[in-house]
Amino acid sequence: MKDTILLAYSGGLDTSVLVKWLQEKYDVDLITVILDVGQQNDLKEIEEKAKSLGVKKHYSIDAKEEFATNHVFPAIKANALYEGKYPLSTALARPLIASKIVEIAEKEGATTVAHGCTGKGNDQVRFDVTIKALAPNLKVMAPVREWGLTRDEEMKFAKANGIQISCLSNPYSIDQNLWGRSIECGPLENPEQEPPEEVFEWTVPPEKAPDKPEYLTIKFEYGVPCAMNGENLHPVTLIQTLNKIAGEHGVGRIDHMEDRLVGIKSREVYECPAATVLLEAHKDLEKMVLTRHEVLFKQQIDAQWTFLVYTGLWMDPLREDLEAFIDKTQECVCGEVKVKLYKGGVQLVGRSSPMSLYDLNLATYDIQTNFNQSYSEGFIELWGLPTRVSNILKTKTKKT
């Protein structure tokens, strides 16, 4: 009886090559698994392709709702932007994919699971750590990492073995889900070169976006978006709809230098229309309902949560610990934020909340209020006392 290897399968170049490679090298039965996390691929076509390559069985799992609710929404609550730019789109999906792979491996009695990650990226860490945390006895294989093939060599292998890859002439490596689309390789590896327009699919060039701005009102309950322009929407529908609307206005293009976990500087290009809008809106609403102390301290918690997810530590207990704090702060993050989309930009132009800490009577300059301005003089004296004392000492020291 042959051993069984479970392969995380996308239908793309890497994993299609791996099917043949694993069959030839190990003479095993292969089971392929793909999760629908909103990548907009034809899963039936991918299943047929996997079977044409000779796999024993193929699983297609619709995980869009679970991804949105259990992965994207926590990221919104945490204002998750790695290095201030990247909304973690790919990083958020990997632990979910890994967990489903473990479930099916246990169901099918497989002793080994495989994925198509290279040895240069972050995804290898996200898959390996999550799988080993959930199932320590499972062996994890990363044949591309082991094989050391370049993208060009993989393409040659695919041609030599009759593997049909629709993007053999496409120099880019693309990964996408509900929360964003990442594009790598080819001309993008030159950080001095502007990304060619051909790499973008979800967003129009800002200069070609409509000349008239579009306004959206997004409602949040307990830190997560639930409605847009007065219409309650399913989590997946809300994100998909906002991706389309914001993308039509050129919103969500990200181009930055990223520090990968393995120590490599990498030029990364993303399209994240919905993420760009929702994260900006959520952060703005938090400023209205949380105290200054909560806002400043939560920035540190958010950064640590984001770092854990980016670096493959979704299963680490610290993530759940941090989420306990984050979820507590979200109890009052309820209200609406009005955004203006125009020529690639997102402007926050209004916000309201039943939990608002904004008090017009205190803030206004136009009318007499019950704020006693005379208190400010004493406050300033005490606030600046350490600074004044320090500078007095500096002056005395210089004179001596």
Q: Pick the catalytic residue: 10, 16, 89, 173?
A: 173
- Given 10, 16, 29, 94, the catalytic residue: 94
**Residues in the chain with pLDDT values less than 50:** none
Distance of CA 302 to the CA centre of its chain: 13
Residue 11 near residue 46, CB atoms below 8 Å: yes
pTM (two decimals): 0.94
Structure tokens at 133: 């945390």
Q: Largest alpha-carbon pair distance within the chain?
A: 89
157 burial level (CB within 10 Å; 0-12, 13-18, 19+): middle
* AA identity, residue 370: N
Two tokens, residue 72 = 């994207």
pLDDT of res. 399: 78
What's the chain's Rg over C-alpha atoms?
A: 25
Active site residue 94: yes
Instruction: Count other C-beta atoms under 10 Å from residue 11's C-beta.
Output: 21
Active site residue 327: no
Residues 305 and 323: beta-carbon distance below 8 Å? yes
Q: Which two tokens stand for residue 295?
A: 């806002």
Which tokens hold the place of 342?
């125009």
Does residue 42 have an active-site annotation?
A: no
Instruction: Give the strand order in the sheet containing 253-259.
Output: 173-177, 180-184, 265-271, 253-259
What domains appear along the chain, each with residue ranges and CATH number?
4-170 (3.40.50.620), 176-352 (3.90.1260.10)
185 CB contacts (<8 Å, ≥6 apart)?
151, 171, 172, 173
Report the distance separating Cα 133 and Cα 152, nearest Å.
Answer: 34
Taking residue 214's Cβ as centre, other Cβ atoms within 10 Å add up to 15
What gap in Å lies between CA 329 and CA 301, rounded to an integer? 11
DSSP 69: I
The crossing angle, in degrees rounded to 10, of helices 13-26 and 151-160 is 60
Helices (H), 27-160: 43-52, 64-67, 73-77, 89-108, 123-134, 143-147, 151-160
Catalytic residue among 10, 29, 123, 128: 123
In sequence order, the β-bridge partners of residue 335 are: 220
List the alpha helices (DSSP H) in 223-349: 235-248, 273-289, 292-310, 317-329
CA distance 380 to 377: 5
Annotated active-site residue 36? The verdict is no
Facing residues of 231 across strands? 228
Q: Which two tokens stand for residue 107?
A: 């169901």
Question: Which tokens belong to 368?
Answer: 């007499």
**Rounded CA separation 18/143 (Å):** 7
Nearest by Cα to 63 from 91, 93, 87? 93
> Which CB contacts under 8 angstroms, 24+ apart, belong to 206-210?
206/249, 206/250, 206/253, 206/343, 206/344, 206/345, 207/250, 207/343, 208/250, 209/248, 209/249, 209/250, 209/342, 209/343, 209/344, 210/248, 210/249
Instruction: Report strand pairing: 214-221 vs 224-228.
Output: antiparallel
Using alpha carbons, select from 57, 83, 67 the residue that is nearest to residue 4.
57
Query: Which one-letter DSSP state was computed for residue 9?
Result: -
